[in-house]
Every structure is written in structure tokens, then in C-alpha cells.
Chain A
Amino acid sequence: LAKTTQPISMDSYEGQEVNITCSHNNIATNDYITWYQQFPSQGPRFIIQGYKTKVTNEVASLFIPADRKSSTLSLPRVSLSDTAVYYCLVGVGGNTDKLIFGTGTRLQVFP
């Protein structure tokens, strides 16, 4: 499974857009990019998944450049409740069960 690198922490203020970038230089052709969110003392929660270009849902957008060696999770207009750890995961759809979590990015949103 491709190794991922993301910032350890980020700070933001309410109402701002937050972009968290993840590097995955050795991503394989079949790999999808998935982001999870984890609040303290809770289980991770799926946010978004993509393969290439841009994916948007009601929570976030995911931007993936053509070479797919990185991806950016974009959270529009964050609020205090977006304070959490965000994990970027890269893996092969359909060929494995396990999710491999890294250390994630700890996002702190201030008022």
C-alpha cells in the first residue's frame, strides 16, 4: 500500500477554507485516495474518496492532480466542530480489507 505523508497539524479560524495536502508518490494505478475524519474518543468517519480530478460532496472536495502523486482535501468555511484529525489513505479498491491509517493531520479551528 502506498505510503502517505501529510502535515502533522494545521490551525485555522472559523469561516476559513482549509486545504490539507497529502503526498503519495508511489501510488499505484489501481489505488483510490480516501479521507477519514476522527474526533477525540470516536471512531474514524469516511469523508470522501476519489481516483482522479475532483470529487465534491456535501462535506468536502478532493482535488487530485493528473499525476495522482498528491491530493488535497478542501474543507469550505470550517467551524469549531471541524476540529479533528484528518487521515489520508491510499489503497487498492476491491483487493484488500484493511484500512492503513497514518498519523493524520490534526486540525484545530479557532473562533
Chain B
Amino acid sequence: EPEVTQTPSHQVTQMGQEVILRCVPISNHLYFYWYRQILGQKVEFLVSFYNNEISEKSEIFDDQFSVERPDGSNFTLKIRSTKLEDSAMYFCATSSVRSYNEQFFGPGTRLTVL
């Protein structure tokens, strides 16, 4: 069964450093998403991406965050200057159609900001 993969599984960084989280979507999927989950809290939507541009983003997704699909396969989330409160699990998800439908989530990257 095809699946979404994410790297790294765990990233530890110092406050103020830049991090890039990577996702490899399911091959025929065209819609990509990032969510995050702070420990013990809800899964929160960050951003959706289609046709090389952001289609929707949440209030959390401020200027410190950016997404891109640099090589047509990987889908990345960059946090320019990490803060302590960015510590969370970050999940990439993909879907074949743009709908309130089945999104396939990756295993997540645990980001720890010290």
C-alpha cells in the first residue's frame, strides 16, 4: 500500500535555528498539507499546497513558515527561526483530490526546540 514518508523522524534544534522538514507524498497525489500536534493537544492545520502554490493556510502559518516542492517529489516545510513553542509533531498529508475527504498522513517528524 502506498504511503507518505517523512524525514527526519526526530529533529532537535536550538531556538533561532532554521529547520526543514521533508515529506515524500504518495506518487499520484496532487494536494499536500502540513499539520502539527503539540504534545497532548489537537492536530492543527497549518497549510495546504497545490499546483506549486499555497491554497489555504491557518493563522499559525506565519512568515516564519514556508512550503515548497523543490524537485517535484519532496514537499518541504521550513521554519526560519524556530521558537520553543514550535516544538511539536509535524505531519505531512496528501490527497488525490481537493475535497473534505481522505487525506493520507505520514508518520510525522517530532521537532524539539531547545
Contact (Cβ within 8 A) A46 B103: yes
Docked Cα-Cα span, A6 to B50, in Å, equals 32
Least distance between A30 CB and chain B CB atoms (Å) = 9
- CB contacts (< 8 Å) of A31 on chain B: these are 100
Q: How far is the CB of B62 from chain A (nearest CB, A)?
A: 16
Residues of chain B lying within 8 A (CB to CB) of residue A96: 56, 100
- With both beta carbons as reference points, the residue of chain B lying nearest to A31 in the complex is identified as B100
- Tell yes or no: B44 within 8 A of A by CB: yes
Size of interface on B: residues with Cβ below 8 Å to A: 28
Tell me the complex Cα distance, A34–B43, Å. Answer: 15
Interface footprint category on A: 20 to 34
Main secondary structure of the interface of A (DSSP, over half): loop
Q: Quick one: closest B residue to A85, CB to CB?
A: B43
Cα distance A41–B91 in the bound complex, in angstroms: 10
Query: Digit string of A41-56 for contact with B (CB within 8 Å is 1, else 0)?
Result: 1111110010000000
Does the CB pair B56–A43 fall under 8 Å? no
Contact A98 B45 (CB under 8 A): yes
Given A99-B45, A101-B42, A102-B42, A43 and B102 contact (CB-CB distance below 8 Å): no
Q: Is the CB of B43 within 8 A of A98?
A: no
Q: Mark A79-99, 1 if CB is under 8 A from B, else 0.
A: 000000001010111111111
Chain A residues 57 to 82 lying within 8 A of chain B, measured CB to CB, are none
Q: Which of B4, B89, B100 contacts A99 (CB 8 A)?
A: B100
Residue numbers in A under 8 Å from B55 (CB-CB): 97
Which residues of chain A come closer than 8 Å to B56, judged between CB atoms? Answer: 96-98
Among A32, A41, A95, find the residue whose CB has the most chain B CB atoms closer than 10 A.
Answer: A41
**CB pairs A–B below 8 angstroms (28 shown):** A32-B101, A34-B100, A34-B102, A42-B108, A43-B4, A43-B105, A44-B43, A44-B91, A44-B105, A45-B105, A46-B103, A46-B104, A49-B102, A87-B43, A93-B99, A93-B100, A93-B101, A94-B100, A95-B100, A96-B56, A98-B33, A98-B45, A99-B33, A99-B45, A99-B100, A99-B103, A100-B45, A101-B43
